Chain A
Amino acid sequence: GAVVSQHPSWVICKSGTSVKIECRSLDFQATTMFWYRQFPKQSLMLMATSNEGSKATYEQGVEKDKFLINHASLTLSTLTVTSAHPEDSSFYICSVGRGNTEAFFGQGTRLTVV
C-alpha cells in the first residue's frame, strides 16, 4: 500500500492563531489527496479533496476560507486551519488512494485549540 506521512502528530494552539498540517505521500505520486476530520466517538468525515496544481474541492458545510488547502506538488498537501477556535479541536487525517481502491491514511494530527 501507499505510505503516507502526516505532521505534526499533535498540536496545541491558542484561539485565533493558525495551524498548518502537512501530508506527504512517500512512495506514490498523488494527484489527489483527501482531508478528513474526526470528532470524538464520531466517524471520519471528508472535508475536502486536494488536487495537485488546482483548487481543492470542499464538502458541503466546510468553510474553504477557514480550512486552506495547498497541493503544490505530487507528494505534498497542506491543510491550514486559520483563526482556530476551540470547536475546531479535532483529529485531522489525510489520505491517499490508488485509483478506485482503498484509502491509505496518514498518522493523523490531534489539534487542540485553547
Chain B
Amino acid sequence: QKEVEQNSGPLSVPEGAIASLNCTYSDRGSQSFFWYRQYSGKSPELIMSIYSNGDKEDGRFTAQLNKASQYVSLLIRDSQPSDSATYLCAVKGYGGSQGNLIFGKGTKLSVKP
C-alpha cells in the first residue's frame, strides 16, 4: 500500500525562525511531489511543487527532494504567525490522473510571536 508519512506535530517555532517539515513516501515510482497548506476549516492550497532531485525555492519557501531516500521536505524561512497551519505532503505516482495523489496526514505548525 502506497503511503506518505509525516510527523503530526505540533511543530512549534518562534517567529523569524526556520521551520522544517519532513515527509517520506513508500512508492519509489513516485514522480511528483507537492506541499499544501491547510488552515483550520479551510481547504488545502498549493505552496510548492517539485519534480526533480534537489532544492526548489519560492520566496520564503524551499522544497527539497531526495528520491533515493524517498524523502521530501519543506523549509519555511523567517516564519510568521500567519504560517501557522497544517502542512500536507502529497505524492503522485508515474502517469495516471490525480487519483494517484496520496496525501500524508499533515504536520501542524505553530509559529509563536
B99 close to chain A: CB less than 8 A: yes
B95 close to chain A: CB less than 8 A: yes
Binds B, one of A61-69, A82-90, A95-103: A95-103
Supposing A43-B88, A43-B106, A44-B88 touch, asked if A103 and B42 sit within 8 A by C-beta, the answer is no
Having A43-B103, A44-B103, one finds 14 other A-B pairs with CB under 8 Å, namely: A45-B103, A46-B99, A46-B101, A49-B98, A100-B31, A100-B32, A100-B92, A100-B95, A100-B96, A102-B49, A103-B101, A105-B43, A105-B45, A108-B43
Q: DSSP majority for the A interface?
A: strand
Scan residues 72-113 of chain B and give those whose CB is less than 8 A from a CB of chain A: 88, 90, 92, 95-99, 101, 103-106
B34 close to chain A: CB less than 8 A: yes
Q: A57 contacts B99, CB within 8 Å? A: yes
Total interface residues on B, CB under 8 Å, equals: 23
Contacts from A to B (Cβ < 8 Å):
1, 6, 32, 34, 42-46, 49, 57, 91, 93, 95, 97, 100-108, 110
Residue among A42, A44, A103, A110 with max Cβ neighbours from chain B (10 Å)? A44
Can you list 27 residue pairs at the A/B interface with Cβ under 8 Å?
A6-B43, A34-B98, A43-B88, A43-B103, A43-B104, A43-B106, A44-B44, A44-B103, A45-B103, A49-B98, A57-B99, A91-B41, A95-B98, A97-B97, A97-B98, A100-B31, A100-B92, A100-B95, A100-B97, A103-B46, A103-B90, A103-B98, A103-B101, A104-B46, A105-B45, A106-B43, A107-B42
